[in-house]
Amino acid sequence: MSVSPRYTGLIDKYRDRLPVRDNTRVISLGEGNTPLIRLHNIPKLIGKDVDIYVKYEGLNPTGSFKDRGMTMAVTKAVEEGSRAIICASTGNTSAAAAAYAARAGITAFVLIPEGKIAMGKLAQAMMYGAIILQIRGNFDEGMELVKQVASEAPVTVVNSINPFRLQGQKTASFEIVEELGAAPDYHCLPVGNAGNITAHWMGYSEYQKAGVSNSLPKMVGYQAAGSAPFLRGHMVDKPETVATAIRIGHPQSWDKAWNVQKESGGWFDELVDEEILQAQRLLAQHEGVFCEPASAASLGGAIRDVKNGRIPEGSKIVCTLTGNGLKDPDTAISQCKNSVLLTIDATLDAVKSGILKNFAQ
Ligand code: F0G
């Protein structure tokens, strides 16, 4: 039996391509190395000859792609002597910041919009021991406050305006190129602050320049219709969507993301909430992959663009599933009213009849 070396996280794996030194103390929870799952049933269902893969970032240690950026941001914060980090968050960044701060033995302050973050994410921030400042306002307001307070207090901002975040997140593209042996034709992502689409483009571009791959994907960003500044062409003040992770009206990487769109020849589009939820259900019920609502915007958008021909048949498509479905059980349960959930007596007869009645399903 050949034994492969133990995987110890993306900084160790991609040390040569990340701004760390040999003696840097790495703060890691084994993030990265997530599965790239080829969809078997959905292409048949839509009757199109396309190769769709989902990069299941929900299998990172805190259940979202944020861990890729957070291992870098917290490693650098600690290296620079910081004792506390701070972020504004729609939930996932706060969970990741809290976990990596716990791992590093420093304090995490997280600003979250009251009542607008999914229950699993709140549970994570609480359990990892973050100091939670719940604001009567939205993410964008929280972000402004974080920027202001960081200029006056000894705390390191770990939102994606921290350049180390994007450095860590670019590694997802490295993994995709290595696994497919080339870049895909299209890479679809949900877009909020637009940090992740920017980071992925950095990763693909870096591998192309280094000769690891010889092509680049078109980058396609999907937003929730109620929170779609890239579609409106300007900032949106009161963003709304069921996909609370991307309930953002003032993206921090606005210019960078427009450059990505232009350089890659991709585009932005929007989905209404019901389309997002439909894609979430489709993926769970036909492929066995459970992502959170925001994540499903990438697949929902890709399916629509395959159906309407904007993404041609024969294409190889990667959709990033940014977060795990378990993060937001309330939204999942509330849209599964037709699930077969029977309460029965604990008798053999009742079980048998429950099976017989539902066998056709
Ligand atoms: N998907 C999920 C599940 C997210 O949590 C986020 C962002 C995005 C997509 C959008 O990524 O901002 O890089 O365009 N969540 C941040 C947070 C804002 O606070 O957790 P982006």
What is the full DSSP assignment across 166-200? Answer: HHHHTHHHHHHHHHHSS--SEEEEE-SSSHHHHHH
Residues 6+ apart with CB under 8 A from 276: 224, 241, 242, 243, 293, 294, 296, 297, 300
- Ranges in the chain, pLDDT < 50: none
Tell me, in angstroms, the distance from the centre of ligand 1 to residue 166's CA.
12
| Residue 268 tokens, joined | 């932005």
Mean pLDDT, the chain, rounded, equals 97
Q: How many CA atoms lie within 13 A of 352 on its CB side?
A: 3
The whole-angstrom separation of Cα 187 and Cα 165 is: 20
Helix, strand, coil percent values for the chain (each to nearest 5): 45, 15, 40
Tell me, in angstroms, the distance from the centre of ligand 1 to residue 332's CA.
18
- The pLDDT score that the predictor gives to residue 360 is 65
pTM of structure: 0.97
Tell me, in angstroms, the distance from the centre of ligand 1 to residue 222's CA.
12
The model's pLDDT over 162-185, given as tens digits with 9 standing for 90+, comes to: 999 999 999 999 999 999 999 999
Residue 206's alpha-carbon distances to 17, 65, 117, 173, 251, in angstroms, are 9, 19, 34, 10, 24
CA dihedral 65, 66, 72, 78 (to 10 degrees): -150
Tell me, in angstroms, the distance from the centre of ligand 1 to residue 157's CA.
16
Nearest CA to ligand 1 atom 5: 245
- The pLDDT score that the predictor gives to residue 82 is 97
- The pLDDT score that the predictor gives to residue 337 is 85
Nearest ligand 1 atom, CA 221:
14
The model's pLDDT over 246-290, given as tens digits with 9 standing for 90+, comes to: 999 999 999 999 999 999 999 999 999 999 999 999 999 999 999
Tally helices (H) and strands (E) across the chain. Answer: 15, 10
Q: Mutate which of 54, 65, 86, 92 to test ligand 1's pocket (most atoms within 8 Å of Cβ)?
A: 92
Q: Mutate which of 246, 248, 320 to test ligand 1's pocket (most atoms within 8 Å of Cβ)?
A: 246
Amino acid making up residue 31: E
- The pLDDT score that the predictor gives to residue 203 is 98
- The pLDDT score that the predictor gives to residue 361 is 53
Tell me, in angstroms, the distance from the centre of ligand 1 to residue 193's CA.
7
List all residues whose CB is within 6 A of at least one atom of ligand 1: 64, 66, 89-93, 160, 190-196, 245-246, 292, 294-295, 322-323
Q: Which residue has the tokens 């997140």?
A: 169
- The pLDDT score that the predictor gives to residue 4 is 84
The whole-angstrom separation of Cα 43 and Cα 41 is: 6
The whole-angstrom separation of Cα 275 and Cα 262 is: 26
Nearest CA to ligand 1 atom 6: 245
